[in-house]
Amino acid sequence: MGKYAQLVIGPAGCGKSTYCNHLYEHCQAIQRTVHVVNLDPAAEAFAYPVSLDIRDLVALEDVTEELGLGPNGGLLYCMEYLEDNLHDWLGAELESYGEDDYLVFDCPGQIELYNHLSVFRSFVDFLKQDGWSVCVVYCLDSHFVTDVAKYMAGALQALAAMVKLELPHVNILTKVDLLEDKRHLEDFLIPDPALLLPQLAASTGPRFAQLNKAMGSLLDEFSLVSFLPLDITDEDSIADILGQIDMAIQYGEDAEPRIREDEIREADEEGDGGDGGDDI
């Protein structure tokens, strides 16, 4: 088939690790093998089994202690160190994975890593050169839909990551199960400036009218940003998202078609149900 990967990115606290864990549990239930990789050097605990861990290469705690850097500076140092060791460390680790393997990379929450720094562009270029089909999964907290200004900022961040990484891209509104009011959620799955700009104008004041219009036009003209809702209490929710990702990276399209056991059994029964003339 091929080698496939998801790059799970988004702001800090948006539910990336929860998504990775829910995806892993769903794949276990449908008997599909995935390997979750931790790319956050500051991570401490995981709900899912970690197949590969950046902390084996560099950990934020060690960097802050040895170099005297703060959390953000230390994280940037860790990711630049990863960028410098893509071939030596990551390349060696990925040698144990081959055809039909599926990796899910749980990434840090600093959005500058995806929007204007080179580290993740280098990372995805390395994966593509190594033969991996990669899809970016951008997570945005659904709480953003309660504040249209925050939502617009989140949508533009997702667009910036799409432009920077140049990969198939699936955007997710996470924590939908925690929303108290879901009546207007549909309005935010596909941004419609005609609906959003009046709300934005009411919350920002008249002096920002031209800026608001420009941002709305940017989302509308490119029509690249849309979202899928993730409700971890609804198994169909994660199944729909995984289906969209599979289509984006063409997962399994070159696999041989498989006939289910019950279909084989039915075919055998039909074959045995003839008039028996040949058995005389």
Q: Which CATH superfamily is domain 3-181+226-255 in?
A: P-loop containing nucleotide triphosphate hydrolases (3.40.50.300)
**What's the rounded mean pLDDT across residues 221-250?**
92
Q: Mean pLDDT over all residues of the chain?
A: 88
Give residues with Cβ within 8 angstroms of 24, minimum separation 6.
34, 36, 48, 49, 104
Max CA separation in the chain (angstroms): 94
8-22, 162-176, 265-279: the lowest-pLDDT one? 265-279
Residue 42 has pLDDT above 70, yes or no: yes
Where does the pLDDT of residue 28 fall: very low under 50, low under 70, confident under 90, or very high at 90 and above?
A: very high
Where does the pLDDT of residue 269 fall: very low under 50, low under 70, confident under 90, or very high at 90 and above?
A: low
Q: Which helix (H) or strand (E) holds 209?
A: helix 209-222
Question: Per-residue pLDDT tens for 68-93?
Answer: 999 999 999 999 999 999 999 999 99
**What's the rounded mean pLDDT across residues 144-149?**
89
SS3 content of the chain, % helix, strand, coil (to 5): 55, 15, 30
Where does the pLDDT of residue 277 fall: very low under 50, low under 70, confident under 90, or very high at 90 and above?
A: very low
- State residue 260's pLDDT score: 45
Residue 121 has pLDDT above 90, yes or no: yes
**What's the rounded mean pLDDT across residues 1-18?**
93
Q: Which tokens sit at 226?
A: 């849309």
- State residue 252's pLDDT score: 73
Give Rg (Cα) of the chain: 23
Q: Say how far apart CA 165 and CA 113 lie, in whole Å.
A: 11
The residue whose two tokens read 């008997």 is 31
Quick check: 227 and 189 in contact, CB under 8 A? yes
User: Which residues of the chain form CATH 3.40.50.300?
Assistant: 3-181+226-255
DSSP 231: -
Residue 223 has pLDDT above 80, yes or no: no
Quick check: 249 and 135 in contact, CB under 8 A? yes
Q: Which tokens sit at 155?
A: 């949508």
Quick check: 35 and 97 in contact, CB under 8 A? yes
Residue 259 has pLDDT above 50, yes or no: no
DSSP 46: -
Q: Which tokens sit at 195?
A: 């609906």
**What's the rounded mean pLDDT across residues 241-269?**
68
Residue 257 has pLDDT above 60, yes or no: no
Q: Say how far apart CA 234 and CA 77 lie, in whole Å.
A: 39
Rounded to two decimals, the pTM is 0.86
Q: Say how far apart CA 174 and CA 195 lie, in whole Å.
A: 22
Quick check: 39 and 107 in contact, CB under 8 A? yes
DSSP 86: I
Q: Which helix (H) or strand (E) holds 205?
A: none
Q: Which of 113, 114, 171 is nearest to 145 (CA)?
A: 171
Where does the pLDDT of residue 33 fall: very low under 50, low under 70, confident under 90, or very high at 90 and above?
A: very high
Question: Per-residue pLDDT tens for 189-217?
Answer: 988 888 888 888 888 878 888 888 888 88
- State residue 267's pLDDT score: 55
Residue 100 has pLDDT above 90, yes or no: no
Pick 192 or 121 by higher pLDDT. Answer: 121
**What's the rounded mean pLDDT across residues 227-238?**
94
Q: Which tokens sit at 59?
A: 């950990």
Where does the pLDDT of residue 280 fall: very low under 50, low under 70, confident under 90, or very high at 90 and above?
A: very low
**What's the rounded mean pLDDT across residues 95-113?**
91
Percent pLDDT > 70 in the chain is 89
